[in-house]
Each structure stands twice: as structure tokens, then as C-alpha cells.
A and B are shown apart, each in its own frame.
Chain A
């Protein structure tokens, strides 16, 4: 009779299974394999949080904890002490389109979802957090953010999208994160220009690569603080209606490292800004100008001498690009792979000839 495989060997085999069903079969073999499977589970998606006390102790080595449903705040102390190795906490709320909460106090069905105490418990217990995604968890306020930053100095990625309790004080804490590369503040309407000033003063300035400021109540004055962000690769300013050409030209167009820029539905962005971007953002690959009312073909054509743009989205009703302009753009900018235009644009007959002559994929978005 052969020797039994050690836990480590069983774990080695188990780690090669990609399909959850295979892991399930594995744990059904015998009690010992069941135990080993639990020890070797690194990712857990929680669907029924109320049962966490029952099943979580089996998975002490979880690195990646995710759940998109409300989790009782009082459970986080238990989660942190049971799974201290968690590196990725993904609590992004499921995107249903509707506001997930019944009231403004972060309660769902009368139950308290994660709040500042919960996130603080996680930060104190799990000391190697790399990613914390809290999209739409509106129980998170500045104190929670401060506590997270205090204990999770290694954070690389922080998503506070639509955490509407977070304000300028929260950003002052975040500014202290030395290694943060990705920050999402979409829809945090309490944050003002002052907050961006705090952020820009912090040590994350030289590390941050991806910044999402969409749907925020910020103005040119706030954006100007960001001038110090020397390695920004992606910036999303969608629907920041108070940001105008001024700061786009003065700040964004100076980001030579920028690869992706989303300016959709910014009503005060015009050809001036777009021309400045074409001159300044030498490495830009994706530019989204959907719904930018005052951008015309003149602005777009500034990119005809650009050396790296791959994708351009420009969907708008009231301006049109002629076939001639389009040809000028795609022949000039040889890196272009994809252009998305609106169906209503004039001169669509001449798109045909442009389409034949270019390698780029031309998408005419249906009205």
C-alpha cells in the first residue's frame, strides 16, 4: 500500500484546479481532503454573509475576500481575526443601477452594513492589505478611511467610488499612502478642490497611476493641484461639469505619461483643450470625448499628427466630422485602431471611402 500524500503535496495538486467544481469534488473525497482544501483556499466569494461564522474558520489562509452583498458590520472583527492574511478585500457593491440602500444610514433591511468600525477592524487585523474596494459602501466615512490608511500602509489600490460619506479629510489621510497606484473617487460629491489639494501634497503623488474623479464636484482650481502627479497613466474626469479648458490645458496636457483620458460629458471642454492634449500628451492611447458638446472636428483633427493614439471616442449630436477630416485624421495618425463616432454625424457617405482606406476599425454608434 502506498504512502499517503502529505498536505503540501495534496495542496500542490489542488492549486492546479481552476474549476470550483473540481475543488468541490476534491473536498468530498474524505474528511482529510476537505480540511486540506480549506487550508489551500486563497479566494473566497461570500454569497451568504450571515453564515460567515459557520464556514469561514475552514479557510484561514484566504488572500482574496470578496462579496457584493451587505455584510453586518459586527462580523468584520471575526473576519479579520479568522483570515489575517487577506490582501484583497473586494466589497464593491453589486451594480444594479438602483441605489442599493433603503435609507441614508447604510442600512439594508434594517441591517447595518460595513461602516468605519468594520473597515477599521479589517485594517487592524489584516496587516498586508493591498487592494481595498468599497464601491458604494456608504457606511464608510472619513474616520474609516483614516483608520484604513493608518494600518494598511501597503495599499496599492483603493476604490471609494460612490462612498459619499468620504470628504476632504479622508483625502488628507489617503495622501499619506506611499505605494498607492490606483484611486477611485467617482461620485464622492462631498470632496472639494481642497481635498485634491491635500491629495497632491501627499506622498502618493509620485506613485499614483490611475485616478478616477468622475462625477465629482470639483473645479479647475482643484485640478490644478494635480500638476505634481508625475506618473499618471489614466485619468477619468467624466461628468465633472465644472472643469473647463483652463485646467485641461494647464494640467492634464502636461501629463506626458498619460495613456487613457476620459472627458466624456464635460460641457466646457472645447477644441482649445483637445488641441493642447494632442500637443502635450505624447503617449495618449485612448481619448473619450463622448458628449463633449463644444469639441468640433478642428479639435479632433489636432490628433492627425499624434504618434500613439489608438482609440478615439467622439459621439455627439450637433457637430459633424466630414469624410475629408476623417481621412486627414486616420492617414495622419497611423497608430489609430478604433474610432467611435455618432451615426448622426454629417457626411456619412464619405465614411465609406475612409473606411476602405484605413486599417482602423470605424464604429458608427447607432442612435
Chain B
């Protein structure tokens, strides 16, 4: 129900939605922030309900994503400030936290943040041992020793080359 107050028609723009995480906490978010997520925008277009339940995003992660969305929905902030917020946002975060963030931004389709987080993850993964990556992603090594050797051999024949731009 839309209530009228002294601001009149402006209230329509200031509508809020409630987003509930998988552990049950609820967050009040302005609609202008929520629609920066393509998935939330679609949900809001399809139903009247102002309560959205996200069954696969936890409290901590959701709070971070909402902080991001609210900052980016703030028209008072310049693009430069938003960019430096983005950098600040991912810096110093544990790899584990980034992993949940990248999944959440993928689910919610917040493309910009998804890219920023993926970049940060890649930066951390660079020069890390294969064993480290397996541990962090909880992945079992499903290679036989022979298969692993074969991959190393194949990579010696064909490799990725990024020097093309200079040509």
C-alpha cells in the first residue's frame, strides 16, 4: 500500500523492498538499489510482493551485496567515488568471502560486482600452487598421475600467448 506524505509523488521513487537471506534475516533496501540486480529487477516486475526470499545467499554475503547496491544507487556519488568504493570493497577480503560473493553476484546478476570480484580472485590465485587452489575450492584431484603428466606434456605444444597486441 502506498502511503502519501508531504513529498507527494516522490514517494513512488522511494519505495523499498525487503530481502530475506537464507538464514532468515531481513534487509530493507530501496527499490532503486534492488533493481541494479537484474534478477531482483525481474522478480519485482513480475510480482507485487515486496518481500523477496533468497534461499541460497547467507546473511553476511547478502549484507555486503546490499551495501554495494546502495552505494551504486546513490545519485549523489560521482563515478570516480563509486570506482574507488569498488576497489575498497574487494580489497582485504578473505578468499572464502570472495567466493561466496562471486556466487551471490552471479545469482543476483550484478554484473559489475561479479567482474570486480572475479578479478580480485584471479589476482589472488595467480602464482598459487595447484594444491592451494584445490584446498580453497574444496576440489578433489581426479587426475591419475599419468593424466596429470599428459596435461603438462600437451601444454608444452600449445600455449596461450598474450603478446599479440604488440604486433
Chain A interface residues toward B at CB < 8 A: 1-3, 5-6, 8-9, 12-14, 16-20, 22-34, 41, 43-48, 51, 54-55, 59, 64, 66, 88, 90
1/0 per residue, CB under 8 A from A, across B99-126: the answer is 1101100100000001100110111011
B142 A25 Cβ-Cβ under 8 A: no
B159 A29 Cβ-Cβ under 8 A: no
B151 A25 Cβ-Cβ under 8 A: no
A25 B133 Cβ-Cβ under 8 A: yes
* Known contacts A29-B130, A30-B139, A31-B142: A13-B125 contact under CB 8 Å: yes
B159 A20 Cβ-Cβ under 8 A: yes
Q: How far is the CB of B39 from chain A (nearest CB, A)?
A: 14
Q: How far is the CB of B109 from chain A (nearest CB, A)?
A: 11
A64 B130 Cβ-Cβ under 8 A: no
13 pairs, CB–CB < 8 Å, chain A vs chain B: A9-B103, A12-B115, A12-B118, A13-B102, A16-B121, A29-B134, A29-B137, A29-B141, A30-B139, A32-B142, A44-B158, A66-B164, A90-B167
Q: How far is the CA of A318 from the CA of B161 in the complex (A)?
A: 46
A17 nearest in chain B by CB position: B122
* Known contacts A2-B138, A19-B126, A29-B133: A12-B159 contact under CB 8 Å: no
A30 B143 Cβ-Cβ under 8 A: yes
Residues of chain A within 8 A of B125, CB atoms compared: 13, 17, 22, 26
Q: Which of B56, B100, B127, B134 contacts A30 (CB 8 A)?
A: B134
A24 nearest in chain B by CB position: B155
* Known contacts A34-B151, A45-B158: A3-B142 contact under CB 8 Å: no
A1 B138 Cβ-Cβ under 8 A: yes
- The interface on chain B, measured as residues whose beta carbon lies within 8 A of the other chain's beta carbons, has a size of 42
Q: How far is the CA of A19 from the CA of B123 in the complex (A)?
A: 11
Within 8 A of A (CB), among B124-167: 125-130, 133-134, 137-143, 147-148, 151-152, 154-155, 157-162, 164, 167
B142 A5 Cβ-Cβ under 8 A: no
Residues of chain B within 8 A of A30, CB atoms compared: 134, 139-143
Q: How far is the CA of A19 from the CA of B147 in the complex (A)?
A: 23
User: Most chain-A Cβ atoms within 10 A of its Cβ — which of B127, B137, B152?
Assistant: B137
A41 B160 Cβ-Cβ under 8 A: yes
B128 A25 Cβ-Cβ under 8 A: yes
User: Most chain-B Cβ atoms within 10 A of its Cβ — which of A13, A33, A90?
Assistant: A13
Q: How far is the CB of A218 from chain B (nearest CB, A)?
A: 26
Residues of chain A within 8 A of B143, CB atoms compared: 28, 30-31
User: Most chain-B Cβ atoms within 10 A of its Cβ — which of A1, A3, A23?
Assistant: A3
* Known contacts A5-B137, A30-B140: A13-B164 contact under CB 8 Å: no
Q: How far is the CA of A173 from the CA of B111 in the complex (A)?
A: 44
* Known contacts A31-B142, A55-B154: A2-B99 contact under CB 8 Å: yes
Given contacts A43-B161, A47-B157, A88-B164, 20 further A-B contacts (CB under 8 A): A3-B103, A6-B106, A8-B106, A12-B102, A12-B118, A13-B102, A14-B122, A16-B119, A25-B130, A25-B133, A26-B125, A29-B137, A30-B134, A33-B139, A43-B160, A43-B162, A44-B161, A48-B158, A59-B158, A66-B164
Q: How far is the CA of A41 from the CA of B122 in the complex (A)?
A: 16
B151 A13 Cβ-Cβ under 8 A: no
1/0 per residue, CB under 8 A from A, across B25-39: the answer is 000000000000000
Q: How far is the CB of A346 from chain B (nearest CB, A)?
A: 39
A22 B123 Cβ-Cβ under 8 A: no
Q: How far is the CB of B142 from chain A (nearest CB, A)?
A: 5
Residues of chain A within 8 A of B115, CB atoms compared: 12
Q: Which of A3, A19, A22, A48 contacts B157 (CB 8 A)?
A: A48
Q: Which of A22, A41, A44 contacts B126 (CB 8 A)?
A: A22
Q: How far is the CA of A31 from the CA of B121 in the complex (A)?
A: 20
B159 A45 Cβ-Cβ under 8 A: yes
Q: How far is the CA of A47 from the CA of B103 in the complex (A)?
A: 37
Q: How far is the CB of B44 from chain A (nearest CB, A)?
A: 24
Q: How far is the CA of A17 from the CA of B164 in the complex (A)?
A: 15
B121 nearest in chain A by CB position: A13
Q: How far is the CB of B64 from chain A (nearest CB, A)?
A: 16
Q: How far is the CA of A65 from the CA of B160 in the complex (A)?
A: 10
